[in-house]
Amino acid sequence: MIIFKKVADLKTFLKNQPAYPAKTGFVPTMGALHQGHLELLSNCRRHMEISVVSIFVNPTQFNDLSDFKNYPVTIESDILKLEKAGCDILFLPSVEEVYDKGVDEEKHYALGNLESLLEGYYRPGHFQGVCKVMDKLLHIVLPGHLYMGSKDYQQCMVIKRLIDISKLAISFHMVDTVREADGLAMSSRNLRLSEADREKAVSIFRQFGYIKENIHRSAVSELQDQAADNLLKSGFTKVDYVSIADPDNLEPLNSVSKAQRVRVLIAAFLGPVRLIDNMEIIA
Ligand code: AMP
């Protein structure tokens, strides 16, 4: 694996590869790598000749400063994991390398309702920050293919929109969520959970089953409220949302018909740690 810290060096290297850009895949991450990240890499390697992983904790996407400060950094073990998994290139830039015009550079992305719904609503400015960094990273790497996780389903929709807006010739691939044995979605933030909270965390996954089982028995809004209540009863300290939504635009649904495809999305806190997860359900 070759590690690049400078944009210019990475670009020069890629330009000279015959597999660039058509057979070059990109996996952007914020590090503290787990099996979910490695699954993105494995999908990328299956179809591509060159895999590029980036590790960059993006300051502009954290609306909560303490979340940014407490974001886990495990760079040495990340490098070992990537080498073992057969990654070709690790891009490990500084903030100054990515934000060559400074982090305060004004730019606004037209994300429509995606920005005011769910994560957009509860984390103001978050998706503008995600677009800001992805705009930079995509223009630096200019891959033929991009691999991101459905764990962050709304983020996938945002990035597809960014690719459209920016008229980039990049194929987008959404990879299924990798889960722990009990169903908890793998996440770098799980590292911050106490042992007791780690046990409670599985309740999010259980609500997907609860909602699927009861989707034709209760009204959608009642079911959402009931699932939120279940989370609080199992020890979650705050629920931002439980949403049964249209998978194509994330608009909330008022009712669900037989065999309809819906996306259930949940965000909730265990103390200071905010967890998100989602799942498609066929009603
Ligand atoms: P992050 O490092 O949290 O910014 O995530 C980097 C990429 O990994 C994003 O595309 C995430 O959606 C994806 N990802 C995070 N957790 C998982 C998981 N459990 N399964 C699959 N992909 C994941």
* Confidence (pLDDT) at 72: 87
Place of tokens 């984390």: 123
- How many Å lie between the centroid of ligand 1 and the Cα of residue 186? 8
Q: Cis before residue 28, ω within 30 degrees of 0?
A: no
34 is an active site residue: no
Q: Which is nearest to 23 in space by CA: 52, 2, 1?
A: 52
> Ligand 1 test: best mutation among 34, 40, 70, 172, most atoms within 8 Å of CB?
40
How many Cβ atoms are within 10 Å of 32's Cβ, its own excluded?
Answer: 21
Percent of the residues in the chain that have a pLDDT greater than 70, as a whole number? 100
Residues with CB under 6 A from ligand 1: 29-30, 36-37, 39-40, 148-149, 151-152, 175, 177-178, 185-188
- Kindly report, residue by residue over 228-246, the tens digit of the pLDDT: 999 999 999 999 999 999 9
Among residues 214, 248, 216, 251, the alpha carbon closest in space to that of 229 is found at: 214
pLDDT at residue 67 in the model: 86
CB proximity list for 9: less than 8 A, separation 6 or greater: none
Q: How confident is the model at residue 210 (pLDDT cuts 50, 70, 90)?
A: very high
Look at residue 105 and give its three-state secondary structure.
coil
DSSP bridge partners of 145: 25, 171
What's the pLDDT score for residue 2?
A: 98
Q: CA angle, 81 as apex, 78 and 84 as ends, to 5°?
A: 150
- Per cent of the chain over pLDDT 90 is 94
CB 159 within 8 A of CB 39: no
Span 138-153, average pLDDT: 98
Residue 3: count other Cβ atoms within 10 Å of its Cβ.
15
Residue 89's pLDDT is what?
98
Q: Mean pLDDT for the chain?
A: 97
